[in-house]
A and B are shown apart, each in its own frame.
Chain A
Amino acid sequence: MVLSVRGLCRSYGSRPVLVDVGLRVGAGEAVAVTGPNGSGKTTLLRCIAGLERPSAGSVELCGAPLREPDALTRRRIAAALDDLDFFPDIPVAEHLALLLLAHGDPAPDEHAAALLAGAGLGEIAGQLPVSLSSGQRRRLGLLTCFARPRDLVVLDEPEQRLDRAGRDWLIRQLQQEKRLGHGVLMATHDAELTRRVADRVVDLS
C-alpha cells in the first residue's frame, strides 16, 4: 500500500473541515477525491503532502508514518497543489533542471529539455516564467510531478486551465503513472478524467 490514511481530522479554529477521513491508495492505483467546493479536498491533499498538520489521525506512506522533514518522504511524494511560483529571472528549462539536479539527476539539462519537448513545451524552454500562459504554467507544474522520483503523485484539480490537448496529455500521463506502479491521488471535478483514470472515488460531500 503506497498511502494509508486513517481517522484524519483537520479543523481551523473551531470549524472542522475534515472529520474522520480514511482512504488507501495502492501501487498502480488511482483514487479520485470528489466533493463540492469547501468540502475539504485541498485540505486533505495538503495534509497528505505534509503542507499542513492534521488535527488528528494518521497518514502512512509506503508503510511508515508520514514525516515530511525526512528526505525519503520528499523523494516519495510528488505534489502539484497550488499555482506554481517561479524564480522570476530564471528561464523555464532552468527551473526544471534545478528540480532534477536537486533530486540527484546526473544530466539535468538534457533531461529537462527532453521532458519539456515531450510535454509540448519545448518552445518555451528558454523563456522567462512571466511570459507563460496560465495553461502552460499548469502543464509545467504537472510535469514536475512526472519528472522527479516518486511513489505517490498528489494532484489538486489537475485539469484546471488545460485545453483539450492538455487534458488528453494529462490522462495519458496518469495512465502511464499507473502502469509504472505509482499511486495517484487527485482531487477533481472532471467526470471524464475520473472515468478514464480513477480506479476508485472517495466522495467528501
Chain B
Amino acid sequence: MTAVLRQRLRPPVAPVRTRLARFYERLVLTAILVTVAAGALHPLWTFRMSGPSTLFVMAVGLAFLAALVPVLRAAGPVAASAAFRFWLLATPVRRRDLLRRRYIALVAGVSVATFLLLAPIAHAAAGLLVAAVFTGAGAILVTIAVRAQASDILDRGLHAAGQALGGAATLAFGSLATGIGRAGLNSALAGSATFPVLAAILGIAAVCAVVAYRALDRLDMAVVHEEAAIAEIGEIAAGPLQAAG
C-alpha cells in the first residue's frame, strides 16, 4: 500500500529544461553547503593537541550528547509536513510504513553529524574509535527519543538522561580546567578497552532502533510536530543570534 502511495506522490515528470534548472539549483546549494562545512571542519581536522587527551574528547562528546537531547525533544524528533499529516497520516495506513524513511533519515543524519563533529577532535587525541562510540551513543539517544515521543514517562527519563550527560560533561571539563583528577581519569580512559565498548554500544543501538521503529505505530498526531512549526521555532530561536551578529 505505501509503495503505491509513494508512487502517486511523485510529481509528473517535468520537461528537460525544468529538470536541468532544478539540478543546477541543487548543485549550487550543495556546493555552498559543502564549502561552508569544509571551512568549519578544516581547522578541527588540522588541530593537534599538545598532549593527546582522551578526557577532552569524552568531555566534548558528552557535551554534544547533552545538547542533542533537548533538540531531539523539541523537534519531536519525528516530524511531518502539514500536507503529509492531513492526506496520509490521518488515514488508517500503518504509521510505521509511512514514517519509515523519515525515521531512517533521522537516525542516519544524527549519526553522521555526531561522527563528523567528533571525529576531528578524536582523530587528534584519542583515535577514531572513540568518535565511533559517541556516534553509537548518539544513535541510541535518537532511537530513545523516538520511542519517548509516544511515552510521557520515557520522555521524562530522556530529559533526566540529558541532564545527567550535561552534568558529566561539566565534571569532565571541570577536571580538565582545574587539573583535579585529570591524570587519573585520562589514563583510566585511555587504557579502557574501546572495542568491547563500541561493540556493546552498537548492539544496544541496533536493539533500540528496532524497538523505536515498532513504536512508530503508537505515535499519535498530537506529538508528531509539523515541520513548518519546527522551522518557525528555529527562526525565532535564531533571531537574537542574527540581531547580535
Contacts and interface: CB of A to CB of B under 8 A. Distances in A.
A74 B92 contact: yes
Interface residues of B, number: 26
Given A89-B11, A101-B8, A75 B83 contact: no
Given A101-B4, A102-B91, A68 B11 contact: no
A69 B8 contact: no
A95 interface: yes
Contact of A53 (B4, B91, B222): B222
Contact of A87 (B9, B150, B221): B9
Contacts of B82: 82, 85
B221 A68 contact: yes
Contacts of B92: 71-72, 74-75, 102-104
Given A69-B220, A89-B11, A98 B88 contact: yes
B30 interface: no
A162 interface: no
Contact of B8 (A52, A84, A98, A144): A98
Contacts, number: 71
A52 to B, nearest CB: 5
A99 interface: yes
Nearest to A95: B87
Interface string B122-157: 000000000000000000000000000010000000
A99 B91 contact: yes
B35 interface: no
Contact of B217 (A53, A69, A72, A102): A69
B221 A51 contact: yes
Interface of B: 1, 4-5, 8-9, 11-12, 81-83, 86-88, 90-95, 150, 217-222
Sorted nearest first, the 9 A-B pairs with minimum C-beta distance are A89-B11, A102-B91, A85-B82, A71-B92, A68-B220, A85-B83, A75-B92, A53-B222, A69-B220
